[in-house]
Amino acid sequence: MMGGVAIDGGNSSSDKPRRGRRVRMTGAERRQQLLDIGRALFAEKGFEGTSVEEIAAKAGVSKPVVYEHFGGKEGLYAVVVDREMRQLLDGVTGALTAGHPRELLEQAAFALLDYIESYTDGFRILVRDSPVAQSTGTFASLISDIATQVEDILGLEFKARGFDPKLAPLYAQALVGMVALTGQWWLDVRKPKKAEVAAHLVNLAWHGLDGLESKPQLVGRRKS
């Protein structure tokens, strides 16, 4: 009796139910909605802790719909991760406009914090471990993958400064780890403002504990 429709879950922003309280979305809309819900749930309860039924239920829809769109739980997860990864990378690489290394650092740190703030759920997913068998190595966290993207920039800088470029990965991991864990911590306390956190991170990464400034300032200009 009366299949073919679903009760509105009352979730996302601007669904204008055609009329009445039943929604029948278009394919693309439903797909996007499932991605949003999946991202949120994966962020909150991890991959294994989230069930397909839960996702479907939250979308006001039944399980087979999810399978229709993504072929299964891993399919959905893969798409979510891929999008989030791209989002972060675009944000960071897009922010790297300066030539001076220190400003580069500032921009990268700020971009990462920006991402963390705007796409909190995505960040949580990226920080958690992935269930997928990594092809490249045995990294536990997706964030480690991000770090490998930083090696290039650092490698160039090292070469120019006469340092051993083989050490770039080490420093890249260190820098990313620094920002990532601080970001994770910042998500909970939310105490210093974003710009201040960025300034202190740059302070530490640039001057070191030895030459720490007590009131660090970001040198670059930016919008937010």
Partner DNA sequence: GCCGTAGGTTACGGACCCGTAGGGTTCGTG
Partner DNA sequence: CACGAACCCTACGGGTCCGTAACCTACGGC
| Residue pair 11/59 in contact by the 8 Å Cβ criterion | yes
Contact with DNA (CB under 7 A): which of 37, 61, 95, 201? 61
Shortest distance in whole angstroms from residue 117 CB to a copy of itself: 16
Quote the crossing angle between the two packed helices 27-49 and 120-127, to the nearest 10°.
40
Secondary structure (3-state) at 101: helix
107: burial class by Cβ within 10 Å (0-12, 13-18, 19+)? buried
| Residue 130 touches DNA, criterion: CB under 7 A | no
Q: Which is nearer to DNA, 6 or 111 (CB)?
A: 6
Q: What sign does the CA torsion over 15, 16, 21, 24 have?
A: negative
Asked if 160 interacts with a copy of itself (CB under 8 A), we say no
Does 138 contact a copy of itself by CB under 8 A? yes
44 binds DNA (CB under 7 A): no
CB 33 within 8 A of CB 44: no
Q: How many CB atoms lie within 10 A of CB 142?
A: 20
Using CB under 8 A, list all residues that contact a copy of itself: 46, 48-49, 101-102, 105, 124, 127-129, 131, 137-141, 143-144, 147, 161-164, 167, 169-171, 173-182, 184-186, 188-189, 192, 197, 200-201, 204-212, 214
Using CB under 7 A, list all residues that contact DNA: 1-6, 18, 23-27, 30, 50-54, 56, 60-65, 67-68, 71-74
